[in-house]
Chain A
Amino acid sequence: MSLLHIDNLHASVDGKNILKGVNLSIRRGEVHAIMGPNGSGKSTLAYLLAGKPGYKATQGSVLFEGHDLLTLSPEKRARMGMFLSFQHPVEIPGVRLDQFIRAGFNSLRQHRGEPELDPLKFDRVIKKNAGMVGLHQSMTKRFVNMDFSGGEKKKSELLQMSIMEPLLSILDEPDSGLDVDALRDVANCIKQLHTFENAVLLVTHYQRILNYVVPDQVHILVDGRIVRTGNKDLAHDVEADGYDKYE
């Protein structure tokens, strides 16, 4: 059974049709990449799957582990194991990153019928994972995304992903605004978090991150439709030729 099954999905934002019949199936253990020009609907697809208010499915269906995803609130989707790494994560003044992650983590545990983790035990977890994603532990004591550099924001998202241990991680441009070294770090980290048990849907503009995170499938999204699906070589073709020839 597919972890995520999207069938003929149409969606609109502010009354404007953005997705015009997307079909996509992702199984555990797979990495899928969605590439496409600006305004093709990549981020809309990511937000719609995570349940962002204002993003409406007008046709089609989405099943997540066999459940009708579109009727669920965003927090229920998260608790079922769907994670969205934001392209522009929100700043929350006065709330420390570790507190924020603990609040989310404990709500997931509660959902699974597990006891909450107290701050001391959680501190050990976050320490270990911060080291893995390459974020200095002192960063977790700072306010959520406040005065974080571009790279730190991406790593903070990955830290959250590493602790939540989602079934499906939707990564919305985890490579945007990063220099070569930071890009490699982020990509290696994604690779490390990917197992046979979970899946990754990577939304990106550029092929270069796919040199590190090798996708099982690459989908080219143009004007709200997947116009081509292929293996990692497709990403190279796009890099060479541009998106024009798919429009």
Chain B
Amino acid sequence: MTTTNKDLKAVASKEYKYGWTTDVESETPEKGLNEDIVRWISEKKNEPAFLLNWRLKAFSYWKKLVSEDKTPKWANVKFPEIDYQNLYYYSAPKSKKQLDSLDQVDPEILAAYEKLGIPLEEQKHLAGVAVDAIFDSVSITTTFKKELSKHGIIFCSFSEAVQDHPELIKKYLGSVVPYTDNFFAALNAAVFSDGSFCFIPKGIRCPLELTTYFRINAAETGQFERTLIVAEDNSYVSYLEGCSAPMRDENQLHAAVVELVAMENAEIKYSTIQNWYPGDEKGKGGIYNFVTKRGICRGNNSKISWTQVETGSAITWKYPSVMLIGDDSVGEFYSVALTKGYQQADTGTKMIHLGRNTRSKIISKGISAGHGQNTYRGLVRVMPKAYKARNFTQCDSLLIGDKCGAHTAPYVEVRNNTAQLEHEAYTSKVDEEAMFYCNQRGISNEDAQSLIINGFCKEVFQKLPFEFAVEANRLIELNLEGTVG
């Protein structure tokens, strides 16, 4: 009768399914980071002067932080110090000519997507989903652009946006996450290679779910994405982002920045499924995911909601946040973070209430298995003018086995006494007791586990667009499958 124990061990050591590398020639500058590299990247991308200047300012700010030894150390994660001079800062597949159809895409790259279960060939025909596929750092192909442009929606790679809409980039870049925000935001600003740009004009409800798949490929390449989404008055957009990366020995740094701007009555839904290489059984290798994501509800009655399902990466350090400036604006954060093996996640959100009647809701679900360590870190700040601000926070933890850990660090700062804040939390276990209870009702181990885990995640999965909810469910089950002998 020790099957359950064995099962739980098998869960904890589940192997990464998407480990391989694709043999595509990369065009990469030398290792390390200096002003010349920043200039090289900017020149390579034919950027206007304002952008180069911005990068250089960011770089000198970052250098200052490094010299003052101001790398962030407060998160509940452990890793050896990163040698920033031992990384490549730009990598792009060599064939960089404009493509008219998928037939022109490197077959190696297409095959890689096939393995990930993202057949572009099919996706192109899939009604309702526009795919801006990013392979390493350069956008390869963008579909559905014509359909979107009919509505005046701009959805393209960041590089294209810099060329075609420099005025918008100049206006909004860094307006939510300035390069001075934090160490990794400064690094990203200096060397970001590409990402997505999305602009929804006034009164437009984006008719498609916008999807981007990210992928890290070339060895030892720092991946610095930059995404900017602007929703003008009375507009709506739902944006999906999903990722997976190949097996690596060297730790790979990923420091993305995402900025969202919602004007009056606008709504932005941003969903993420993250499944990067988490490292091997002993915790070796794996992606370091240090991301800055922030949205700003600038207009009255605007709404931003973040939904994330985090299953990958060796280390996740991520706090999608909302600045609630407009009166009656709403910020939401729904998260499922799974850590197994030796994964570490320190994730949560910040809700900054500035306007009147602003509301925020935080639902965080942490699953820990094996030696995984999961920390929820959240801040709810109510500023003096945020009359009648409300927040509801729930952070729950599910433990699988007895070697993992769950931690919560909720911070609250209230400077207006009309605020109402609620906080709930519970910790539960998928332990022998729960499994036995299910077994005693005739439910097999496999079904019991999926019942318990799906139950735990349900509130968050319900917030995902339907196709993604199915994928998320499958992803969690895949990560924890093979548990019954």
Most buried by B among A74, A86, A92: A74
Interchain CA distance A51-B4 in the complex, whole Å: 12
Selected from A54, A90, A94, A107, the residue in CB contact (under 8 A) with B459 is A94
On chain A, the residues within 8 Å of B447 by CB distance are 103, 107
B439 in contact with A100 (CB, 8 Å): no
Q: Using a CB-CB cutoff of 8 Å, which residues 12-61 of chain A contact chain B?
A: 50-56
Is A119 an interface residue, CB under 8 A from the partner? no
Is B458 an interface residue, CB under 8 A from the partner? yes
Is A160 an interface residue, CB under 8 A from the partner? yes
If A53-B2, A103-B447 touch, does A164 touch B441 (CB 8 Å cutoff)? Answer: yes
Selected from B5, B426, B441, B454, the residue in CB contact (under 8 A) with A78 is B441
Q: Using a CB-CB cutoff of 8 Å, which residues 195-233 of chain A contact chain B?
A: none
If A90-B434, A94-B459, A103-B447 touch, does A53 touch B396 (CB 8 Å cutoff)? Answer: no
Q: C-beta contact mask, A76-115 vs B, less than 8 Å → 1, else 0? A: 0111000110100111111100011101110110010000
Residue of B nearest to A54 (CB): B1
Selected from B444, B455, B456, the residue in CB contact (under 8 A) with A75 is B444
Residue of A nearest to B429 (CB): A90
If A52-B1, A100-B451, A103-B451 touch, does A74 touch B440 (CB 8 Å cutoff)? Answer: yes
Interchain CA distance A95-B437 in the complex, whole Å: 13
On chain B, the residues within 8 Å of A83 by CB distance are 440
On chain A, the residues within 8 Å of B442 by CB distance are 75, 78-79, 104-105, 107-108, 111, 164
Most buried by B among A54, A78, A83, A103: A103
Q: Using a CB-CB cutoff of 8 Å, which residues 404-420 of chain B contact chain A?
A: none
A54 in contact with B432 (CB, 8 Å): yes
Is A122 an interface residue, CB under 8 A from the partner? no
Q: Using a CB-CB cutoff of 8 Å, which residues 1-49 of chain B contact chain A?
A: 1-5
Is B433 an interface residue, CB under 8 A from the partner? yes
Is B443 an interface residue, CB under 8 A from the partner? yes
Interchain CA distance A86-B4 in the complex, whole Å: 19
Q: Using a CB-CB cutoff of 8 Å, which residues 313-345 of chain B contact chain A?
A: none
If A51-B1, A53-B3 touch, does A75 touch B443 (CB 8 Å cutoff)? Answer: yes
If A78-B441, A95-B452, A103-B451 touch, does A53 touch B432 (CB 8 Å cutoff)? Answer: yes
Min CB–CB distance A162 → chain B (angstroms): 13
Min CB–CB distance A171 → chain B (angstroms): 13
On chain A, the residues within 8 Å of B389 by CB distance are none
Interchain CA distance A86-B440 in the complex, whole Å: 10
On chain A, the residues within 8 Å of B426 by CB distance are 93
A75 in contact with B396 (CB, 8 Å): no
On chain A, the residues within 8 Å of B436 by CB distance are 50, 52-53, 74
A74 in contact with B444 (CB, 8 Å): no
On chain B, the residues within 8 Å of A77 by CB distance are 440
Interchain CA distance A92-B3 in the complex, whole Å: 21
On chain A, the residues within 8 Å of B4 by CB distance are 53
Q: C-beta contact mask, B421-463 vs A, less than 8 Å → 1, else 0? A: 0000010100011101111111111010001101111110000
Residue of B nearest to A96 (CB): B455
Residue of A nearest to B441 (CB): A104
Selected from B5, B443, B445, B458, the residue in CB contact (under 8 A) with A103 is B443
Selected from A94, A104, A160, the residue in CB contact (under 8 A) with B454 is A94
Q: C-beta contact mask, B447-484 vs A, less than 8 Å → 1, else 0? A: 10001101111110000000000000000000000000
A92 in contact with B439 (CB, 8 Å): no
On chain B, the residues within 8 Å of A108 by CB distance are 442
If A51-B1, A53-B436 touch, does A93 touch B441 (CB 8 Å cutoff)? Answer: no
On chain B, the residues within 8 Å of A99 by CB distance are 451, 455
On chain A, the residues within 8 Å of B451 by CB distance are 92, 95, 99-100, 103
Interchain CA distance A34-B3 in the complex, whole Å: 30
Min CB–CB distance B449 → chain A (angstroms): 11
Min CB–CB distance B256 → chain A (angstroms): 30
On chain A, the residues within 8 Å of B439 by CB distance are 51, 73-75, 78
Q: C-beta contact mask, B363-404 vs A, less than 8 Å → 1, else 0? A: 000000000000000000000000000000000101000000
Interchain CA distance A50-B432 in the complex, whole Å: 14
On chain A, the residues within 8 Å of B437 by CB distance are 86, 89-90, 92
Q: A73-B439, A93-B398, A107-B444 are in contact. List 20 more A-B contacts (CB 8 A).
A: A53-B1, A53-B2, A53-B5, A56-B1, A75-B440, A78-B442, A84-B440, A86-B440, A90-B437, A92-B428, A92-B437, A92-B452, A92-B455, A93-B428, A93-B455, A94-B458, A99-B451, A104-B438, A107-B447, A160-B441
Some 11 contacts from A to B, beta carbons below 8 A apart, are: A53-B3, A75-B443, A75-B445, A86-B440, A93-B456, A94-B454, A103-B438, A104-B441, A105-B442, A111-B442, A164-B442
A interface residues with partner B (beta carbon < 8 Å): 50-56, 73-75, 77-79, 83-84, 86, 89-95, 99-101, 103-105, 107-108, 111, 143, 160, 164
